[in-house]
Amino acid sequence: MKNFIPIKKRFLIFREEAKEIEKMSKKISRDNIYLDFSKVDFFSRSFADELLNIIREKKRIKIVNLKPRLARFFEIIRNTKEKTKKAIEKW
Protein backbone atom coordinates (compact mmCIF):
# COMPACT_ATOMS: atom_id res chain seq x y z
CA MET A 1 0.00 0.00 0.00
CA LYS A 2 1.58 3.24 -1.16
CA ASN A 3 0.22 5.54 1.55
CA PHE A 4 0.92 3.26 4.48
CA ILE A 5 3.20 4.54 7.27
CA PRO A 6 4.30 1.92 9.81
CA ILE A 7 4.79 3.46 13.25
CA LYS A 8 7.85 1.62 14.54
CA LYS A 9 8.09 2.93 18.09
CA ARG A 10 6.46 0.88 20.84
CA PHE A 11 6.00 3.87 23.14
CA LEU A 12 4.83 7.31 21.99
CA ILE A 13 5.02 9.91 24.72
CA PHE A 14 5.55 13.42 23.42
CA ARG A 15 3.58 15.82 21.24
CA GLU A 16 6.69 16.21 19.11
CA GLU A 17 6.40 12.54 18.11
CA ALA A 18 2.93 13.22 16.70
CA LYS A 19 4.35 16.20 14.83
CA GLU A 20 7.06 13.95 13.37
CA ILE A 21 4.34 11.62 12.09
CA GLU A 22 2.64 14.64 10.52
CA LYS A 23 5.91 15.57 8.77
CA MET A 24 6.22 12.02 7.40
CA SER A 25 2.65 12.20 6.10
CA LYS A 26 3.40 15.43 4.23
CA LYS A 27 6.05 13.62 2.19
CA ILE A 28 3.42 11.22 0.84
CA SER A 29 0.77 11.88 -1.80
CA ARG A 30 -2.41 13.84 -1.21
CA ASP A 31 -4.53 10.69 -0.96
CA ASN A 32 -5.54 9.08 2.32
CA ILE A 33 -2.64 8.12 4.55
CA TYR A 34 -2.85 5.11 6.83
CA LEU A 35 -0.82 5.06 10.04
CA ASP A 36 -0.12 1.48 11.10
CA PHE A 37 -0.07 1.34 14.91
CA SER A 38 0.32 -2.46 15.13
CA LYS A 39 3.71 -2.20 16.90
CA VAL A 40 2.61 0.51 19.35
CA ASP A 41 2.05 -0.68 22.93
CA PHE A 42 1.55 2.67 24.65
CA PHE A 43 0.90 6.31 23.89
CA SER A 44 0.47 9.18 26.30
CA ARG A 45 -2.52 11.47 26.55
CA SER A 46 -0.34 14.32 25.23
CA PHE A 47 0.67 12.32 22.16
CA ALA A 48 -2.93 11.26 21.49
CA ASP A 49 -4.23 14.82 21.94
CA GLU A 50 -1.70 16.18 19.44
CA LEU A 51 -2.42 13.39 16.96
CA LEU A 52 -6.15 14.14 17.22
CA ASN A 53 -5.41 17.80 16.46
CA ILE A 54 -3.45 16.75 13.38
CA ILE A 55 -6.15 14.32 12.23
CA ARG A 56 -8.84 16.98 12.69
CA GLU A 57 -6.85 19.34 10.43
CA LYS A 58 -5.88 16.71 7.88
CA LYS A 59 -8.88 14.46 7.51
CA ARG A 60 -6.97 12.24 5.07
CA ILE A 61 -4.94 10.66 7.90
CA LYS A 62 -6.38 7.38 9.19
CA ILE A 63 -5.20 5.10 12.00
CA VAL A 64 -5.15 1.34 11.39
CA ASN A 65 -4.22 -1.72 13.46
CA LEU A 66 -4.64 0.03 16.79
CA LYS A 67 -4.74 -2.41 19.72
CA PRO A 68 -8.20 -2.54 21.38
CA ARG A 69 -7.14 -1.02 24.71
CA LEU A 70 -5.35 1.81 22.90
CA ALA A 71 -8.39 2.34 20.69
CA ARG A 72 -10.55 2.71 23.82
CA PHE A 73 -8.06 5.15 25.34
CA PHE A 74 -7.96 7.12 22.09
CA GLU A 75 -11.76 7.25 22.02
CA ILE A 76 -11.89 8.49 25.63
CA ILE A 77 -9.51 11.30 24.76
CA ARG A 78 -11.50 12.18 21.63
CA ASN A 79 -14.76 12.29 23.61
CA THR A 80 -13.19 14.41 26.36
CA LYS A 81 -11.93 16.89 23.76
CA GLU A 82 -15.40 17.14 22.22
CA LYS A 83 -17.12 17.63 25.59
CA THR A 84 -14.60 20.29 26.58
CA LYS A 85 -15.06 22.11 23.28
CA LYS A 86 -18.87 22.09 23.68
CA ALA A 87 -18.63 23.31 27.27
CA ILE A 88 -16.37 26.19 26.22
CA GLU A 89 -18.73 27.11 23.37
CA LYS A 90 -21.67 27.28 25.82
CA TRP A 91 -19.72 29.44 28.22
Predicted local confidence at residue 30, as pLDDT: 72
User: Which residues neighbour 30 within 8 Å (Cβ) at sequence distance 6 or greater?
Assistant: 60
70 pLDDT above the threshold of 90: yes
Domain 4-90 CATH (choose: 3.90.1580, 3.20.20, 3.30.300, 3.30.750): 3.30.750
1 pLDDT above the threshold of 70: no
Q: 43: exposed, middle or buried (C-beta count within 10 Å: 0-12, 13-18, 19+)?
A: buried
The alpha carbon torsion through 81, 70, 58, 89 (nearest 10 deg) reads -10
* CB of 63 closer than 8 Å to CB of 35: yes
Strands, E, within 13-77: which ranges?
33-36, 42-43, 61-64
Q: Which of the two residues, 30 and 77, has the higher pLDDT score?
A: 77
- Each residue of 51-68: pLDDT tens digit? 999 998 888 899 999 999
Predicted local confidence at residue 79, as pLDDT: 94
Q: Of 5, 3, 10, 4, which is closest to residue 67 (Cα–Cα)?
A: 10
Q: Which of the two residues, 90 and 37, has the higher pLDDT score?
A: 37
Number of residues assigned to the chain: 91
Averaged pLDDT, 6-31:
91
